[in-house]
Chain A
């Protein structure tokens, strides 16, 4: 809650004006029943029509003033909520962009998404609500009680005795109801899941003639949902009749005790009528305030989830100069990339990379091959410093990665990653990716990536709009656009992580040839499952369970590494592999 108010603090002057308008607006509204009492009690018996019109006009004036002041106040409240929500969302998003990959893993992307969407929405809504209702209702409550106290202190006690009943009812029904609804929401998810699964698996279901079984499975989910939804609705349904009864009961008590007081000449019928009006106003305020209360717990929870992210540590920090020693080459030739006894695990359990060492010189190509989960991508993640190794060191031109500022590190790389993302914008923008580069650069990169031809085939060419996640292009086209993005910056080091798997062999071969003939000769790291993608590399690492089980050139590996040979044979055609591949 503290944090929500912290975000509203910069707008203190607006909040002050908002308070001013809301207070005045609420007070004039409270004055209306007061005038009513005065008119019926004092003015009417005076038999002076002018006086009635005078006081009546005052009532209408008050009503109009309440209207204007409340609208102005509410609008100011919306303004504060807008500005506050804007900065909460800005801070949160800015932070998510800077989170270290470890933290992203820890929070998980769906959770970060819901923090950015649902939680910021809740906070936005709450900011507006507090200022609109959170100010008005306490004033109505306190002011109303004050006015009634002036009118008749004893009757006020009746009011005070009924209010807690309303608060308790609303509070408990709502909190319990909200809990029940959350449970029902989970049952909705369950029901939807069955429906979704079955829509997707309809072929299997029909092929196996299991529709009866699916009907039963759905029926179970449906029944659970109906049960939970009913429970939630039934809880919520109690509040209305109960509260209405309490309010009405309060009215009856006011009249009853008012009568006793009148008989003792301590009160009068007009006072009681005015009292009933106050009663209405105050109980409505009571109900609204309870709702703000319930809502505030929701908003506070949301804000906590937001704060968790905002307060998380920044990306891997740059160590001060000299914190890690540089690599000194004994031969005098400095490797471009050097891994030295590197071990790493994502969650501190089973190592994804164990004791990995290799040297790669300028302009050379490294190929990494292995089955799913063997640690190929982890090597790339470490090289790009998305994670720091648990043990060992990685050197770039002899400098320990941890000593380098991540921006300078990344500026030397061009990477097309596995499952990388394309976004809803033009092809050209997807390749540029916000970098300042010419159309020629984009086109030449696309040409090397074998993407130019199909891009030009789009009616709008490079201005062709991609859908979210590039859903309107094929897997192979996606990969080629990503490679073009990686090439467009003319990087010193090029990383291609499984970025040609969807291409046919012919296109893949052309792309490789084109990359090799680039004039700046980037050092290249290729991660692949296909032998064809890496067989010309200067160094090939065959990985399994985080360990390198074979290293060397294609020809050597065919003889020395049985796993490599098996893979090669399976991909080159049985028995014929040895001859055919040239």
Chain B
């Protein structure tokens, strides 16, 4: 039986899988075997035995049916027929049960492996330095942990089994056919080449058309999404007709690409049927001729002798034999995709993690909040220095403001302070200890921060607020929310503090998100505070309201403030003006305003006519 049903269908190959070099393939294979498959070696061996048994049993079936038909033609000999039929039913039943067990076991194993891979990749991500996330798009990272691992999973649970089963079937049927009639096997001299040609045609001609089809469809979808988001604008300018005609052009391209791919692809089904029918016809012709000879010609050569039962079983074997050959191209493509996916996953696992804390690193206990920056230079790229020879001494409790145009390197200073990046030269000290000599954990916990990119996760409002201090009590959470002027809003939510924040759930504005991160910061007792454009999402009215809260938050803490609105930083103890990566000016607001400074230019431009 030629696998009558492949439910769910083949995964649609998106064009040819990118090919890895032979060495890379071997490395990937070896690593997968060693890391992920080896722990299951006994189960896998067991599965292999079960699968072989099932396939051999299924292979005997057609031969038995031939025997039954021969017995039938001889008389009929009912006892023999019944004997063969019962045997057949039994074999098929056992084969079916075994196959069921095999695929279930294999699914379990592949899911365990998938679980382990995802866990490993994620754990690795958590260890990677911040620079990794700055360099890679989130979408790309996510696609490794979802799409790539999925591809590997599908290949493990499906292809691995199918390759083994198909090899057994192809070899087994071939042997059986040779046993039945070596001469009839010559039929495949005609059909197998046709199969191979059609397979090649599929990989060479049709796959690229399918990639083009997905690409065109992607373009169309992109266009539709883009225009939908601008629907109001289109209405405003009454451009519906123009947009529709442009959409139609892309629609036309998409449906044509679909059609072109289909035009070639719809050949496959009929071709597979044709090959089956052709071999049936050829077997019938030769079979009839030999059968005729066997019946009528005395001294007919034994090699060409054939019974009706033989014809029947031969036809069945020929179908079994042809099936996997037609599938061969798909499977190899899938395995190649899986290998390429595994390669990408392993690349992440091989990324260099944040270096370990120094072996003699000490814990920063009871930090006071003094910071010294001494002769620090830094660049994200080796040859592009962004911070040049920066010096700064900060007493506990002081407020330092960093101002300057966008892209001047303000956030870079924060990155260095928190040791998201290590300095190229110079040294940063906290309470007198070089931060490289401190454990990252204790050093970072001395900081509290509110960033411009508000980060909230899907979870309850409460969970989001207490993120930095999981042991905070309900009263503390409420107090923090109140201080951040967000308590009224939270209580107006359907479930108050238990309301789940999600992408598509309740409507929450950017400003409100920012206030929640303020509330989160309010819970912290860390002696240092970083505010990176923390109020840029909050409108002025609200900013006035949180000003008091911010003042509370900043009290008795060493603060680093990055701000757009210069009004928020006038009371800083020191203002650093950053321009093109250099600190060009520093001093208090009064000092900087007193002389002709870049700061003064910036300041007055706020009010200029």
Contacts and interface: CB of A to CB of B under 8 A. Distances in A.
B263 A75 contact: yes
7 contacts: A53-B285, A70-B270, A82-B258, A93-B224, A112-B228, A170-B5, A506-B605
Contacts of A270: 308
A226 B115 contact: yes
A47 B293 CA distance: 8
A277 B315 contact: yes
A78 B258 CA distance: 9
A319 interface: no
A247 B96 CA distance: 11
SS class of chain B's interface: helix, strand, loop or mixed? Answer: helix
A116 B247 CA distance: 11
Contact of A207 (B3, B103, B217, B444): B444
A97 B567 contact: no
A245 B96 contact: yes
B416 to A, nearest CB: 13
Given A199-B142, A249-B89, A255-B85, A240 B541 contact: no
B222 interface: yes
Given A44-B288, A199-B138, A97 B605 contact: no
Given A93-B224, A209-B441, A255-B65, A40 B451 contact: no
B433 interface: no
Contacts of A581: 607
Given A226-B111, A574-B567, 18 more contacts: A36-B284, A40-B311, A44-B295, A47-B292, A66-B270, A78-B263, A93-B244, A112-B228, A206-B130, A207-B418, A208-B467, A218-B122, A244-B5, A269-B72, A269-B309, A287-B5, A370-B541, A570-B543
A204 to B, nearest CB: 5
B142 A421 contact: no
Contacts of A67: 270-271, 273-274
Interface in A82-99: 82-83, 85-86, 89-90, 93-94, 96-99
Interface stretch (A145-153, A321-329, A412-420): A412-420
Given A188-B146, A222-B122, A255-B85, A276 B312 contact: yes
Interface in A9-40: 25, 29, 32-33, 35-36, 39-40
Interface stretch (B23-31, B173-181, B248-256, B549-557): B248-256
A82 B255 contact: yes
B126 A29 contact: no
B528 to A, nearest CB: 11
A32 B542 contact: no
A87 to B, nearest CB: 9
- With a 10 A CB-CB cut-off, give which of A199, A229, A373 has the most chain B CB atoms: A199
A78 B73 CA distance: 47
A433 B239 contact: yes
A434 B239 contact: yes
Contact of A200 (B138, B229, B292, B295): B138
A469 B223 CA distance: 11
B539 interface: yes
A51 B220 CA distance: 58
A79 B470 CA distance: 61
B122 A215 contact: yes
B81 A71 contact: no
Contacts of A199: 125, 133, 138, 141-142
Q: Which bucket holds chain B's interface residue count?
A: 35 or more
A490 to B, nearest CB: 13
Contacts of A242: 96, 100
Most buried by B among A93, A239, A276, A283: A93
Interface string B577-609: 000000000000000000000000000011111
B69 A273 contact: yes
A142 interface: no
Nearest to B278: A63
B285 to A, nearest CB: 3
Contact of A423 (B104, B227, B406): B227
A442 interface: no
A74 B271 CA distance: 12
Interface string A238-271: 1111111101110110011011101100000110
A271 B290 CA distance: 18
B495 interface: no
A40 B284 contact: yes
A292 interface: no
Interface stretch (B356-364, B384-392, B453-461, B475-483): B453-461
B65 A71 contact: no
Given A39-B284, A66-B270, A234-B107, A273 B311 contact: yes
B219 to A, nearest CB: 10
A504 B287 CA distance: 89
B176 to A, nearest CB: 16
Interface stretch (A190-198, A353-361, A448-456): A190-198
B78 A259 contact: yes
B292 A44 contact: yes
Contacts of B227: 97, 423
Interface stretch (A54-62, A300-308, A335-343, A388-396): A54-62
A323 to B, nearest CB: 22
Contacts of B244: 90, 93-94, 97
